[in-house]
Structure 1
């Protein structure tokens, strides 16, 4: 997680934590928070459990993914770094494949500028050992 933040700083990206993973994507609001340098320096010695993860039955359904897509785009997020295992990667790969239709279906009322900005979806996988 710290490596991802440092890479983001290097490339001038704004980074966000999505607390509770896919559950946080669907809930939106304050579950998606911008990360500042202080946030990372405080947790460098801790593992990813600090931001949490949660199983999310709703994310397995198209309706849940539509809500998640809407929430992350409205926060200005156009790329994700997924930290966890194969199950998380498999689910986000479904979103990557569905992305154009998710945008079209959930953003019919959003401006063309927002649609263009978020028309591509990229995914990076980071392997992480959460053992203590």
Structure 2
């Protein structure tokens, strides 16, 4: 019996077989998008620009990089992993960093939804966040 994994952007339900492994891909027969099974198995990830699931613990512990993920289209993008690492290893160390994270969790989902729906702002944010990511510390 297939496992309901989520919905495609077009609204069609996506089902993966129970024996599917991480990285297995399926094509939505309604719109043609290709999806990849995520590490948790409950949500499909769009395969465009996606990479293999991260293996280091610090990149898996929390996945709430809303704006960066919306900008780059996948939580496995190199930039998303760098921002997540920066948040987990640097921002969490200080009171001001934790305050910023708390405010970001309040505003981030709204901004991310806006970026997802507006290709112009998605491109603008990709340039800004991509260039800023060059200055972030390397992932261990």
After TM superposition, the score normalised by the length of structure 1 is: 0.27
Higher relative contact order (Cα pairs below 8 Å, separated by 6+ residues): 1
Bigger CA radius of gyration:
2
After TM superposition, the score normalised by the length of structure 2 is: 0.25
Between Structure 1 and Structure 2, which shows a larger proportion of helix residues? 1
